[in-house]
Amino acid sequence: MLRAHLNRTLPGQIGPGQADKDPIAWCGLVAFAFLALLWIRLHVPSRIYFDEVHYVKAAKVLLTLAKPQNPEHPLVGKELIAAGIALLGDTPRAWRTFPALFGSLGLFAYSRALWLASGRTWATVAGTLLLAGNFAWFVMSRIAMLDMFMASFVMLAMWMLAGAVRFPGQARWRSLLAGVFLGLALGAKWNAVAAAALPGLGFLWLRVRRHGRKFMLATEGAPVPGISLAEGALWLGTVPLLVYFLTFLPTFFYAERPVNPLKLVEYQGYMLRLQESVKKHHPYQSVWWEWVIDKRSIWFLYQNIDGAQRGVVMLGNPLAMWAGLPAVGWALWAGLKKGRKDALAAALFYVACVTMWIRNGKPVQFYYHYLLPGAYLMACLALALDEIARRRDRWRWVGPGVVALALVLFAVFFPILSAAALCCGHKSFEFWMWLPSWR
């Protein structure tokens, strides 16, 4: 969420005459409350469920450096799950502690990126609440899978990049950190590739547009004055790749079938072939357009366990996800016609992340692949609602109303997002199945 704001400003200020103040305390409170909600029944179910079967097992093997396990995915997420086990023991809460911590950290980073990009207090708080309550961010923060690590590292990178654009004097160290976080995001899961590539491509386009053949070494102009494209390529290209490859260090020391450091690039092709080899139909698989319209849910859990009937459903908040779609159109229009670079950036990141899956050759895909695009969707929605809330007419209530209703829906669905004990036996789930395709 990058904004080409070239004026030097103080933290908490956007420019002369503008009164919006940095809502860091409110966003920190939301992130803390989010973590508190995650902590409720984090140990339930008291056994591995859904895709934890792959990643918890892989993390345990990684601790022993015995052999490759789950080699089709990079290591960062499994390393962090392993760290939880090493620090807290081999228990369900230990498996899920680091995903919960990263989910809350990623939510806070998202709020900082949105603030630095937009400079709008209401939009920042609303966007943070919308992401916290969009169902997907919550559910993926409670399960020992790789996706939340990937998405949270992306949000940390967005925080740094938005700060680099807003405060050019801080651009170098922020760009360096952004590159580190992008490398770690890719090291958690390759789903981050579109979000990781777009800042560099945007930098390239802006400099070519302004400087023509001198684009590589020129330092004037957006997105960050004082930084040349050559230097930007170092921070946003070379650094992420170096960090990514460094995350494979443990694989060099496996007791069985260690990875040859000199063939690490070749090993990436092996990983890709493994991912593309999974072609067996899965009852919960779906494709990109079904994610966009929130058509297909995934039941991570639905059974009698730990003394009660419980469920965990992976689904998007229907109000937030559906309202976000016209908001993307508004964000594109506002960016191109009104110069709202914050809105344009949010929309472009959303489009790029969805397009990656349209073009992706992976045979079996799932709704949780929409986790990262869904975060950018919430940014588009928050900025659009903020625009409505600033109006001085009878429609200004729509902004707060949509956010409030989205949070009400989160509360209604909370029992089947958090593995609560359900009161009505095996058919309890029917209360929440508003569309036949959610069943």
pLDDT tens per residue, the chain (439 residues)? 433 333 333 333 333 334 689 999 999 999 999 999 999 999 999 999 999 999 999 999 999 999 999 999 999 999 999 999 999 999 999 999 999 999 999 999 999 999 999 999 999 999 999 999 999 999 999 999 999 999 999 999 999 999 999 999 999 999 999 999 999 999 999 999 999 999 999 999 999 999 999 999 999 999 999 999 999 999 999 999 999 999 999 999 999 999 999 999 999 999 999 998 888 888 889 999 999 999 989 999 999 999 999 999 999 999 999 999 999 999 999 999 999 999 999 999 999 999 999 988 788 899 999 999 999 999 999 999 999 998 888 888 999 999 999 999 999 999 999 999 998 878 888 888 888 888 8
The two three-digit tokens of residue 1, written as one number: 């969420």
> Collapsing DSSP states into helix, strand and coil, what is residue 313?
strand
In a 13 Å sphere around the CA of 288, the CA atoms on its Cβ side amount to 16
**Which residue has 């908490």 as its token pair?**
12
CA angle, corner 438, sides to 434 and 439, nearest 5?
A: 100
CA angle, corner 395, sides to 391 and 400, nearest 5?
A: 85
Q: What is the pLDDT of residue 175?
A: 97
Q: What is the pLDDT of residue 185?
A: 98
DSSP bridge partners of 305: 308
The rounded distance, in Å, linking the Cα atoms of 277 and 55 is 18
- First CA to last CA distance, the chain: 35
Query: The pTM is what?
Result: 0.94
Q: What is the pLDDT of residue 19?
A: 61
Other C-beta atoms within 10 Å of 270: how many? 12
Q: What is the pLDDT of residue 432?
A: 87
Q: What is the pLDDT of residue 3?
A: 38
Give the helix/strand (H/E) hosting 308: strand 308-314
DSSP bridge partners of 301: 312
The rounded distance, in Å, linking the Cα atoms of 225 and 336 is 22
> Collapsing DSSP states into helix, strand and coil, what is residue 340?
coil
Q: What is the pLDDT of residue 17?
A: 32
Judge whether 98 and 83 are in contact, CB under 8 Å: yes
Q: What is the pLDDT of residue 392?
A: 81
Judge whether 86 and 124 are in contact, CB under 8 Å: no
